[in-house]
Structure 1
């Protein structure tokens, strides 16, 4: 079927020339009828054979020429240097040479700019990764001091220092996961996880942040098993916790963070609802909270809003096949639902 389409495309591209050839044949057939009526049938037969032969030969030669041009053009696209540009000019009609040279110049210009951007991006990524590894050294020293010299500082100072350290660790983790978003290979290891116990462990790991914000933690529902990557899931829960502590409403007396597990029998899914009673999100902003850099109305509550936390959550959830849903309203807090598919092992 491919060659039939090629023949059709050839006829369509050169139809005016084929129509001229057919019209010329018809004219000569008419003249033969006027001049040689006794041999008209023989002459017309020869004219038809000649016309069909010329059309077939032309189509065949055009298809071969087109195949050569396509091959050279593919080489030119893969490597748009001047050598391939000249090769393409040699096999193409002379009327196209100026267009080919202009196209080659534009492609090489864009390719040069792209190469420069790739080099700059690689340098930036190397710098960020180096900075992350360097910042871990003072963080480790801070942790060592807090663990071994806690008796030399008041409990309030120690709690504030732990709070600052955990915030810095969270920022470092976000940078690392953001840098890994474009990685070709991601080292996810899916294993069985007890969801409610995992939530409790994650909360314990960030208890200082929650204590500093005065949060009361509630766990509702029964223990349920899921299949997921521990590091990835921990990152999702951490970012949601950071998000809740960051957006505590001013003068809020009793901030609450609630974890609830539910099994949806109809759709065979395990659902984790994470709710807070913070300022909430307006209806017009709710559809955009997972967009990169979006802060919306909630961003006015703190100058630390970057719009990256929930964006990274959505990216990680996509990698782990977790469906995200959000419900909220101004003054009614934010509820995020993590929907885990049932996987038969």
Structure 2
């Protein structure tokens, strides 16, 4: 209770005091002044005492309400009911029933989500066994296949593996805790290892892969970084020009930007419409470009999310030629 909220009662008390003061004046008593002082002092005491009692009552109600909101069980409900007027009982009981129902629904959904995540992670690990077998068979029987057949099979294997990795990393992203193993590594070596998985598609589509890499040392999670690079390479090889396609990977250090290490993955495809640029990293966004009608819109979203976890900046690189080509840039912090 605040004095402002109980203004009408204060006005009534004041009018009552004035009435009794008027009666005392009518009596013509010699002690009129003393009576007036006593009346107003007594009223002030009653107001302050009532205010104090009401504040203690409100504090108790808020404590019981907080306990009830933290754990809306029947015991907490009864404690809250004991501190409020009877007029609030029906409303509190109705709200309590709804809160408990919604809490149970949330718990059920969380359990379903946890089971789904565990299933996805188990499935992705199981599917890696036949993928590893396919990799082994392709490696051991390469001489028995024509270059065309081998490249097609290797491309299919790499695509499936990339899709499986994307599912796995998306499932991990939903986990409450993700373990990262940071280590010192050579960025150039990591890039070239990742590009090996795209050799078949580059040979088949006759894509010119141009590397201009310097030997920079970074600290990051190697597996997660390899996944991020694979998503960038997958997009670059997929959307590069159909004729005379070029994928360019460049690294450099910017002394004007706290010595940050830049890694850019560029292609000479049709690029991205300007209206799609602000949404490229949104989950599920595929854009209006005809070449992206079969895209999932998850690759760049996952790159952005895991980049934030690794303290890596991700930028869309401006291309000098209008409406031609596209580039994504990773910025790694300079570590002494």
TM above 0.5, yes or no, is: yes
Deviation at 1:221, TM superposition (A): 5.2
Residue of 270, 280, 285 corresponding to 1:279: 270
- Residue ranges of structure 1 left out of the alignment (5+ in a row): 1-8
Residue of 8, 31, 40 corresponding to 1:16: 8
Residue of 308, 314, 317 corresponding to 1:324: 314
Q: Quick one: structure 1 residues 302 and 266, their matched pair in 2 at CA, closer, same or farther if it must change by over 3 Å?
A: closer
Larger deviation, residues 38-47 vs 188-197: 188-197
- Hey, what does 2:304 align to over in structure 1? 314
Instruction: Please say if residues 80 and 107 of structure 1, whose CA atoms lie closer than 8 Å, have aligned partners that are also in contact.
Output: yes
Instruction: Please say if residues 193 and 228 of structure 1, whose CA atoms lie closer than 8 Å, have aligned partners that are also in contact.
Output: yes
- Hey, what does 1:267 align to over in structure 2? 257
Deviation at 1:32, TM superposition (A): 2.4
Q: Quick one: structure 1 residues 54 and 305, their matched pair in 2 at CA, closer, same or farther if it must change by over 3 Å?
A: same
Instruction: Please say if residues 286 and 293 of structure 2, whose CA atoms lie closer than 8 Å, have aligned partners that are also in contact.
Output: no
Q: Deviations over 1:261-280 (max 9, x none)?
A: 22222221222222111121
Instruction: Please say if residues 236 and 265 of structure 2, whose CA atoms lie closer than 8 Å, have aligned partners that are also in contact.
Output: no
- Hey, what does 2:232 align to over in structure 1? 240
Q: Quick one: structure 1 residues 15 and 213, their matched pair in 2 at CA, closer, same or farther if it must change by over 3 Å?
A: farther
Structural mapping, 1:181-192, within 5 Å: 181-192=173-184
Structure 1 residue ranges, 4+ long, deviating more than 6 angstroms after superposition:
none
Q: Quick one: structure 1 residues 221 and 247, their matched pair in 2 at CA, closer, same or farther if it must change by over 3 Å?
A: closer
Q: Deviations over 1:160-204 (max 9, x none)?
A: 111111111111111111011122322222233322332222212
Structural mapping, 1:23-62, within 5 Å: 23-62=15-54
Deviation at 1:54, TM superposition (A): 1.0
Q: Distance in 1 between matches of 2:244 and 2:66?
A: 66
Structural mapping, 1:104-183, within 5 Å: 104-183=96-175
- SS of residue in 2 equivalent to 1:266: helix
Deviation at 1:58, TM superposition (A): 0.9
Deviation at 1:303, TM superposition (A): 4.7
Q: Distance in 1 between matches of 2:204 and 2:58?
A: 72
Q: Deviations over 1:211-247 (max 9, x none)?
A: 3333211122533232222122211111001112222
Instruction: Please say if residues 278 and 331 of structure 1, whose CA atoms lie closer than 8 Å, have aligned partners that are also in contact.
Output: no
Q: Distance in 2 between matches of 1:13 and 1:313?
A: 55
Instruction: Please say if residues 322 and 340 of structure 1, whose CA atoms lie closer than 8 Å, have aligned partners that are also in contact.
Output: yes
Deviation at 1:37, TM superposition (A): 4.8
- What TM-score does the superposition give when structure 1 sets the normalisation length? 0.89
- SS of residue in 2 equivalent to 1:287: helix
- SS of residue in 1 equivalent to 2:56: helix
Larger deviation, residues 105-114 vs 55-64: 105-114
Larger deviation, residues 208-217 vs 255-264: 208-217
Deviation at 1:328, TM superposition (A): 5.4
- SS of residue in 1 equivalent to 2:82: helix
Q: Distance in 2 between matches of 1:207 and 1:151?
A: 17
- SS of residue in 2 equivalent to 1:10: coil
* Number of residue pairs matched by the alignment: 333
Q: Distance in 1 between matches of 2:79 and 2:245?
A: 71
Deviation at 1:50, TM superposition (A): 0.9
- SS of residue in 2 equivalent to 1:261: strand
Q: Distance in 2 between matches of 1:116 and 1:184?
A: 17
Q: Distance in 2 between matches of 1:128 and 1:175?
A: 8
- SS of residue in 2 equivalent to 1:80: coil
Q: Distance in 2 between matches of 1:254 and 1:35?
A: 113
Q: Quick one: structure 1 residues 28 and 137, their matched pair in 2 at CA, closer, same or farther if it must change by over 3 Å?
A: same
- Residue ranges of structure 2 left out of the alignment (5+ in a row): none
Instruction: Please say if residues 240 and 267 of structure 2, whose CA atoms lie closer than 8 Å, have aligned partners that are also in contact.
Output: no
Q: Quick one: structure 1 residues 57 and 204, their matched pair in 2 at CA, closer, same or farther if it must change by over 3 Å?
A: same
Q: Distance in 2 between matches of 1:30 and 1:308?
A: 82
Is 2:215 aligned against 1:223?
Answer: yes
Deviation at 1:147, TM superposition (A): 2.2
